[in-house]
Every structure is written in structure tokens, then in C-alpha cells.
Structure 1
């Protein structure tokens, strides 16, 4: 196993300490540790080209900082070369097989970085340095012909684009290489025996000497006024160039802060507002061959935020439902950005961040009485002192009046004069409503000679109602936020009628007159009844019961029955003037008239047979008075249709027959 592989295998073992191992093992670990920290060997080529023609010679040299007399080992493509152990390795008349990656290692040093050697069999080659090229280093390229032949009409190309300088020769020189010079290069040229030759491409990589610097401020966030500030310009050197000396320059707003310094830090003992600005730094080599600038770092020395002030866009401390209220929170002093937080009754309501001077505001849609209460805010700009709180503000919400209703404390719209009366006005919703009363569309006032009603709260009280108090009443409920914002809700109109008491001197004669007329009517009915009894020959009336009492009316003149022929009766049969004609559309009470005759001889032809000498006729009673002689409610007479040869009904009255 090779020495390097053995060392790698040892490093992969589990960690251990020298104090736990036997003496020899501890010495081995110590030796390996020293080897790991030893200086790296350096490999160089002479001539200094990574590509050469077959048959040319080259010398490889290995150097180290240790004392002379050391042993050297050579490698090609990781394989040990069996040659005399010297600090140089000469290849005479190179062959194609000599192409490869070469390394050397001096005793007590680490193995060198590999160097690529390429042996070419072409007519034209582009030769580049074997060593790594860093920023600021010179870069030399040579367009070289076979066996040192002279090349004319040389042209150079980078990434297929021509880069031939105005004065061209066999070499292309770049005084201070930059990373942008990396790419694939080739050349073209003509020789006596080979015109228009093109060389193979060579990859050139210009390595970064040190990284682009970054400017950092110690701590997190922007500094607070009065505190110290330390700025660090941080960069990283390439390990192969770790011994390169660098300088640093610090700037604020394009103004230099002192002389260049080797230290990466810049200190501000006490930060003030004047130290706010855009900072950046430059890093360069002592020879100024490489110079790089950092990105800008903006530093704002913060001022602690002061307690904020809370204002509300309302007239006073009231707002109405439906309003949009703006709540503003602003600190008169403090560095931005400032975070404003809003609270209602201790609960979070929202937040706003202000990146420059000015207030933070929040729109509040007032939707119910629940939006009333205590509001507050706090301001915070990240200082160690923490958030600052405002004084509380109490907001009250007014509900506009709506749905006014007027009502009286009695049933019906009529009131007897002299009685008491209360009218009340109520609303569906509204904060502390006030009430105004209208009488006949005019604001309520004392009429001439009348006792005025008393308005208490939502009630209008009449101690003794008078005739002049009658009329239309209306109430109007109202509340207001300000003299300019008044809310009103009118009720519907309530009509009140005042009735005067009747005098006793008038009541008695009227009562006597009514009683007298009633007795006269009863007497006339009895007289008429007995006259009909004597005149009528065997009449029976049947009428269905009727519970509706008809109003008293004057008796209209009597109506006669139609001629006997129209009823299908014999011409000799008598007619009765006290029987109503059949008029179905005249009313809803029917009467049956039963005619009874003496049996005297044969019946006329065409006369229908009669059962027991009886015949039923029907009279429909309409409004009271159609049959002037009939009082169904008083006599209990009903009528029914003929059924089984006789007149049916709940009551029958047989009137005696009388010769016509």
C-alpha cells in the first residue's frame, strides 16, 4: 500500500487519544499529525509549458523549505516512478507515453499539487503555463510550430472569438490576469510546409486570489444611539496564496474613513445619528494588482421610540352605527421602521408598519354597540427598551332611533269626555331617545281653555279628556351625535275621538218614547193576528227556524199571490192576500201556505189530485217586511216543503177557513 493511501486509511479510523495507546502507536499518530501539518512540496517545469512536441526534453524540479539532503519521491498518474531519488526528474526526448499528471514529495513535506504535462504530435500547438494562474498574475501564451519552425500570420482566439492584438508575434501576453480571462484558447498560423494550421485548444483557468469582501456589523440589527459599532471587512485568501499581504479601506457615503489598514475591523466607539449611512470597503494587494469592493451595508443608528399618541376621527367620544372611524397612532420621536399595534379592550385589533415618518392608521367599521369600549395602541422599533404604549381612549357607540310606535292605554279610538288617557311612544332600537308629540300635525301646545296633557319620558298623560283633545296624534323619537347629525323616527298617526256624556233630561223622554212605540207595535200585531184568524180558512204555515234577529223596519204594503192558474189551482179556489208571492231570489226564509177547501162536487179537469184536501204553497221571506203580517221570530212559524201529502215543518198553525 502506498504511503498516502495508508495515511488516508488511518484518518478514517474511529477517534482516539495518544494517552490511551501504547508508546509506539502514540509516536506513529504524532508523526502522522506532524506530516499532515507539514509544508507542501512544490513542482516546477523547465521550460514552463504544459504542452510540448514529441521528441523535446523537459526537466521536473521538486522544492521545499526544509534543509538539503532530503529524499524525493516522484509520481505519475498516482503511480510511483522507479528512478534515482533526486530533487529533479529529467525526460529526454519525450514520447506520447510521457503524457500525464506529475507530483513530487520531499521527506518531511506533503505531496505537491499535480502538474499536467501533455506531449503533442501536431504541427502547431498553443503553449500555456503549467502552473496555476491567479488574479493579478501575468499570463503568457505562445503559438509554437513543430521543431521550432517559424510561424507567420498568427491569430489568437478565446472561446472561438478572435482576440489578436494589434501588434502580434509568437506570444500573447496579459499583464494582470482576471477571472474573466478564463476560457478555451487556440491559435492559427502558417508555416512553409504547413499553411493555415490550427492548434488544439488549451483550457486556461485564472483562479481567484481572494474572495469578494463582505462588510458586516457586529451584533444583529441596526445599532442604537450611544452604543459602540464594529465593522468587519471579511475576505478569504486562496490557500495556495495564503502568504499574500492585503490592505483594507473603509468608506461611508463615498467618503474615506482614515488610512488603509491591514486589520479587517473598523471601530466606532459611540454611535450617533451622524454615523448613519451606506458603508463599504475595498480589499487590495500591497502591489495593487488586485482590488475588490464589497457590497454596501446601510447602517441606521436608531433612536428609541417615544410613547405614541392615539387619536380617533370622531366628534367627541361618540360614533354612530354605520360610521367608519379612523384610529391613528403616532410616536413624535423614534427611528423607523416603527410597528404600531392596535388594541380594543385589551384584545389585538390589527397592526401597521410605517417605514418612514408618519402615523399608523386603522379603519374601524362601527357595526354594533360591541364596538364601544377602550382603545389603545403601542409603538415598537426593535429597541431594547421594548414597545411604548399610548393613553387609553374610550369610544361610545350610538344606535340611531328606528321603528317608532304610538299606542293608547285603552281599546278602540273613542274616549268618553272626562276620562283619563295615556299615550305611549316606543322604538325598536335607539340609544337614549327623546320624544316629541304632534296634535293634528302641529307640535303639541295648550289649546285655549283646555287643560294641557303632561309629557313624561315616552308617555303623554291626559288627566281629564275634553272634546278639544280629539284629533290625530303622532310621536317623533330622536337622538343625535351632534347638532349637525340628528336621527329621527316618526310613528304612524293615531286618531282619538272624544264622546260627550248624554244629559239625564234627554235620556228619560227618549226611553219612554221607545217603550211607547214598542207597546203600540205589539198591540197592532195582535189585532192584525186576530183579524187574520177570522179571515183565513184552514191555513197552516211551516217555516224553518232562523236565529238571526232582523232589524226593525217599517212595514211595506202587502203583496198578493199570483193568479191561481199560474200555481196550478182551480179557478174557484180562494186567494189570500196575506200570502207572499214565490220569489226565490227575495230572501232565505221560506213559508208554506196550505189551502183547505170544502169537498163540493167533482174536481175540475187538469187539477192535480189533492191529499186530504190540503195544498202547500211556498213563500220565501227576504228582508223583514216582505210579508207584513208575519213575525217568524215572535210566532215561531217555519215552513217546509210538502212531504207525503202534508206540509212538514217544525211548527204548524192552522187558520180557519172562510168563505170567499
Structure 2
């Protein structure tokens, strides 16, 4: 079988040595060298009471590095190195070295080998092709096999083992060397005899002691005992002890024991031990002596009792007795006629008879009795009085007692007053009881008393006891200074309380209507009169009296009345409701009240030093004044109180009247008369009334643009640059803590300048021919309507057209040969003209027979159109003058379409220098809102002409008044007739 080292709990076994405390590591498989890639399970044995989490492992994987800690039990490892384990506070185990080898041939041997073990050595080849493996011990060949067995290991099996494998066709491989050192399974037994030198009749115990190896603590051993060459008892036994119940002289001889395994493969004998019997001499009668040698001892002295025998075999046991009570027991083992002693400090209880005994097993011997007397000094006496009171009245009977807690009799007591002996008493024993001193008290007996006690070892004195004989006080007399029945608050009044007789100390109490004001104690007559002095208030108007007491019961004086007139205190002004900020129109009540003051009291109320109302009178509870507040009532308030002892002012109280905001007015301002994309629009919002701070919000089509706060009131502004999306309705909102108000809406139309137009030419065929109708189409892709278009041929005006709603315009022309050339168009909506790119047209002539009629038709058509254009221009010039030199399609006079989109900002033409202000005013809150547009411009230095170009560049100078009907929705501005 394989030898697997195992360690079990080393429980103490009788006859075996104490177990080792170190844990032991076992391996599975049991080899200390294995091939790389394999694993080995390590188990820490010997401490089964510990949980695996409390087992700590140490792995020293490099000599120059610290060990690595691992927890658990068992653990599985695959790294070479030294391993130790530890269970809590136990020492670490012996190290186990593991090698995970990559060698082609390894010899595997167990961790340890003990005598009698069956051992297997295994030679393991990495390659299966390796044949002819041979084993060697100390370089001597043993056998040809992959395994080698040792059946009963003993010392002759010690040595160095290895194996060699032979590979075809040429080579051999040698394994590692394994050192086998056979260890003892258990130590050679040792026989012990107890007692070592027995006497005739003693019980003797023979013990066969040995120690198992820690790794083999589970091996069962058996024992047998020999006398000379004879086996004692029944032979083998699991018990390591053998007892001889009563040894005799014939039992003397040579004894030895034998320990072995149960299989009897391994047996070991102890050395021989000789048992010699000894003879016993009886002890002599002991002698008890006292040291020091005197008949009387004082309590606290050290006393030694000595017990001594003159002969007797050892061991000898001595016992000391006091009045047949065992005090101490001592055993002497080796020295003949030894003196054995007991020492102790004496107390009163140690008085009495003493003796000792000696015994060596043949019967005890007793000494003679020795008497001892211990004298106890008296303790400090205690003086007590009956009755137990430090203060007694004159004429009472008082008894004095003097007593000690300990002390030997007889005891003499003395009673003394201030060092003068009053009485002497002697007590012969405790049965005499307590003999007191009794006398009737007078005032002269007020002194300090004490007593003494003495039993011949020196007197002891008690603590002093004071006795005070008290004379009862007479009825006290209460007096006031100044002696007036009515005084003013704030005056100083002194109260005196005095008795005609009474023992000191005397305690005086000053009371007002049964309430104690002050307590004063006078220790002696030299203290004089100690008054009570206080400054008067209204609460002091009451009946006063005093009491006097010296411990024998209080005596009361006659009552004295006192009346205090109190001036009013500074009144306190409060608001009802209790808030310093109120809303306009609320009713506020001012309440004025003085906490102190003799009635009647008059109150007045002031606002900014102006009397609010008539004087009002009240006794208690103060006075009130009510008013409905307006904005003018904000400010400081105070009140006055007076009861003819001088007016008192209250602290000022600030009241703030908050006013709801009025409906705000929104005004819009742009740099020019017409709002153009790119211009900066400034919105002003102002509420004419309202308590600050006021929060303003600006809306475009009911969408919040932003907000601003006016901390001190007034208006606020909001500015942004216009885009096309900013056309539409604008409003603002003003709010404070009392609510919000919304302004009327203001309509704004943002005008977009035209973009450069695109000119397209369209003819019936691909090549324009004389007589064809040419259509010129001009269109600006961007710009606010209405838009005017002009058509040009070689910079000569052909005609114009308008697009009232935006989009393009067309102009038709019957072609002649002269119409070849460059064409262009121009667009204008009053914010600046834009010219298109030039387009070139070539007109091809017709045959001769067709030229006259065509020419005639073309000429007539041109003359007709020229006449028509001239009429249109003349009418336009006249209408423009009537309209203040502004085209009737001026976008500022047409209704605005409000867009809910975000505004777009544009600039007006450079030659218009207008400063318009858009505003809406509704002064009386009616249904009609008046809107104005005010503009100013510079006059043209040159006279205006009626040409189409001059008409387009004429600067308007018209002021429009508009009327808008107020509504909750968007407002439509109705243009009125122009005014010059």
C-alpha cells in the first residue's frame, strides 16, 4: 500500500509524550514531484475545530520574495515552491517542497517514510516510447521496472534512489534523485515508577511512556510490563499503566516495559528500572511553641506557631489547630526533624488554645495545648445625644451616650464639656450596657461635648458634638422707610423686620401677599438689621409682612399696606392684520398698548408726525384706530400713551401699501417711418401705477419674447432686429405681487426690399422675326408687395407694370427690325430699385412684299402704346402729387398681415430718413385706440419731374393718423386720408 502522510488531532494519551502543536501537511497524490500541468491537493491536519476559512497557507515561491498568503483547506496548487500552513494562533507547520517538473523522466517518492511502512517508488516517463526503465539505490542497480516497492521499511532502506530510462535507438535519460530517510514510528519507551521509593503496603503505578510521530498519531499502540523476565498481568494492553495495589518487600526487583503496534511488526523495550522498598520510622510527639514567648499579646502583633518533631520517616504532615479548628496543613518531604511554622497578625479572635499534630502515615501525634491572650485597644468612641438633635429648646432633657466598637474590658469612659469632666464611668464587661449622662438644659449648656475611652493601652477621644440651646423668637415688627402709604413707581423703599428676643441664628422672611420676596439669616446680634430694599413697580402695590424663625417655629408680624402709582411704559404699536405690507383698499387697524401704567391711560396715533385721529382714553387693553389704506398711507406710524406722568412714544412701525399695476401702454419705435427687415425695433412697456418691483413681459402673437424688471417702477424696453417673421401683433404685460395687466395690441408690418429681378424674353419661335409679339417677363423673387416693374430697351423705357400682390409682371412688344439689342427690367417697392441683368435679342427681317403692311402695323402699334404709356404716366404724376408724392400702392398705407413667426429685420431705403414712433393710447379705457405714425424728412433740393424714374425716387413726406378699434384679438389699422 502507498504511504500517505496524515495528521489527526493529537489528543493526550496516558503513557505517551505531549503531542506536538504544529499542524502537519498531507498531499494527494502523495508525491513531492509531479509533472507540469498536474495539480496537488494540500491538506492542513491537526486542528479539526477550525473552519477552512481560518486556515492560512504560505507559499514561498522565490527565496528573495515575501510569502504569498492563501486561505482555505484543502487547497489545490500547481506551482513549485515551499508550502506551510497555520491554524489561527498555532505555530506554522514544517515546510513541504513541491516541484512541478518538465523533465522527461521523474522519480516520484512519498513525503515521509516511517519504519514498517509499505513504500512504492514510481518512475514516470513523459514519452510512452521510453522503454527499459531500471531502478538504482546509491548507484547500485536494484531492478528493471517502472515501480519499486519496499515492504517493511527500516533503517537499511535509507539511501539515494533514482531511475534511468533507455530510449531507442541510442540514448538514456536519468531521473531526479529521491532521498529516503526512514523515521521512527514511535520513540523507545521509558518506564516510570510512582512513588519512586515505595514503602511496604503502598500502591505503586508503573507507566510506559512513548511518543508517536505526529504524522502517525492515528496508529494504535499496545503495552506490556515485565518484572525481571516474567510478564505482569495478562500481557498486552491498550493502557500504558500497570498498578500494584499493595507492594511488599518480595516485590522488589527489576522492572521494564514493551510498546508495540497492534500487528506486532514493530516492538520496542524500555530500559530496566529497579524498585527498592524503604522502612518507615513513626514520628515523635510534636512540640508547639509561640514566638515571641509571652502570655499576652496586643492586637496587631505578629505571632508565629512552630511545630517540631525529633524523629520520624518522611514525608511528615503537620496540622495547626485553634480551638479544634484547623488553621493550616504543611507536608515536609526531605529534611529530618524540620521546624514547621505558621505566622499571622493577631486580632481579638485569635485569643484561645492552640495545638499541632504530626503524621507520616503511621498515625498522628498531638502536641500539648498552648493558651494565647490578645488584648484589643479601644477604638475611638462615638458620642451620641438623645434626642438626636443639634438644636434643642431651653428646659429640654438631654442624654449623652459614649460607646466604642471594639476593645478589651475593663473600659473607663469620661464625659467632657469644653475640656471640663462632667462624669467618669468604668465598664467591666460588655454586659454592663451603656451608662449615660443626663441633665436638664439651660442657655449655659450651649457648648461642644466629647468623651474618652481607655482600657490601659491609652485613651481614645470621640468627635466633638455641638449642642445649641435655643430661645424662641418673639413676634417681629415690620417697618417701611420712607413711612408713606403711597409712592411712585421707581422710588426706593426699604423694609425692616426686627424681634425683641430669640436665639441666633434667626432667619427672616419678607412676604408680599404670601409670596416670599427675600430670606435673610442673622448669625448673631452684631449683624444689626438687614433690610430688604427694592425699586417699586406696579406689582409692588400689596400687603407686606415678615416672619422670624430660629428653628423653634416662625413668628409673624402685622401686615403693612403699600400703594405704588406706575407711569405708563413705552407703548407697543401693532397692526391688525399683523403684516407690514397691505393692499390698497384694505382696512388696517392700529393698536397701541402700554404694558404697564396706572389707569386711566390716553392714546394718540400718528402717521409721519401727523395726528390721525382724536385722543382716545382706555383703562386696560390699549386703544385702536382703523382706516382704509391708499397709496398715500405708506410710511411710518407711531403712537403715544400718557397717564399724566409724561407721554411715552412707541417704536416707529413702517406700513407699505402695495398698489396693483395699471394697464400698461406698449409703444414700438423703429429708425424709419416704415419697419424694414434689418431695422432695430425697440418695444417700450410702462404701467403708470403700481407698486414696484414690476415685472414686464413682451409678447409677439401671444408668444413671450422676453421679460425685464423695473425694481423702482417706470418703464422697460426690449429691442431686437427685424425679420419678415416679425410682422404681426405685439403686446406687453405688467405684473407685481398683486396681479398682472395686459396692454392693447399694436400691429406691425415688416417690409422686405425687392431682390434684383430676373428678365425673361419669350417669342413664338426660336428665332425672333419682325412682326412677332415679344413678351418681356420681369420678376423679383423677394420683396414686399406692391412691386412696380419698368422695362428697358437699350436703357430706353418701354413701359411699366405693377404686381399689387407680389410676383412678376409682363410687357408685350410687336417686334420691328429696330428692336434688336439689349433688354433689361427694374423692380421697386419703394425701398430701392433693383435692375436685372441685360438680355440680348436679334430680330430677323421679313421679305419685301411683307414689309410695308408689317411696318405700318408695327408703327401704329408703337404709337398706340406710346400714347397709352404717356397717359398712364401723366395720370400717375397727377395722382402722386395729390397723394403727397407717394404711390397709392405704398405698403405703409395697406393693411398689415400679422405673422406669428419670429420677426425678420430689414433696412429702409437710404434716401428715406424717417423717425417713426408707433404708439397706442387709450386714455379713458374706452373701446377706441388712437394710433399715430409721425415722420419727418428733408426736402429734395431739386424739383420733381413726372418721369417714371423721378416718380420712383420721390421722397414721401406724409403723416398718417390711424384709428384702431380695441379688441382682445389682433388689431387691424384702418388708414385715413392723407394729410399734407
Q: Under a length normalisation based on structure 1, what TM-score does the superposition of the two structures give? A: 0.37
Normalised TM-score (structure 2): 0.26
Select the structure of larger CA radius of gyration: 2
Q: Comparing both structures, which one devotes a greater share of its residues to strand?
A: 2
- Higher fraction of helix: 1
Higher relative contact order (CA 8 A, sep 6+): 1
